[in-house]
Amino acid sequence: MTSTHMRVTLIAMLLAASCKQQAQPARQSGAGDVAEIAVTEKGFEPDRIQTAPGQQVTLRFTRKVAPTCADAVEVQGDPVRHMLPLNAPVDVKVTAPQSGQLAFACPMNMYRGAIVVVAQ
């Protein structure tokens, strides 16, 4: 199991053990990094990915639950609706803007997330 998979598994276990809703800290992305994003009954986890301006990032979405409106994801500025089959990772390559954020959401816009640009 890779370090990234271990981190995602640990985060998922900690979230499951938590009894109260809390804002989740954003994940920091590095050069050419892959950001693992699980689609659960709560939506996108994590829902915020931090990265440097202009950084290329691969968003790896894995849908973990069958009954959800997040059976696809739409990324701001990308004309393609990326279908998310159950338990199969789907990679979406994006380039972060120079400032601000790049949003992603389910087709109904009920579950949302973003790549947030931070100064390095």
Angle at 46 between CA 42 and CA 12, to 5 degrees: 70
What CA–CA distance (Å, rounded) separates 9 from 1? Answer: 10
Using only the alpha carbons of the chain, give its radius of gyration.
14
pLDDT of residue 33: 86
| Residue 57: CA count within 13 A, CB half-sphere | 28
pLDDT mean by block of 10 residues, the chain; 120 residues: 52 41 41 87 96 95 94 95 97 95 96 92
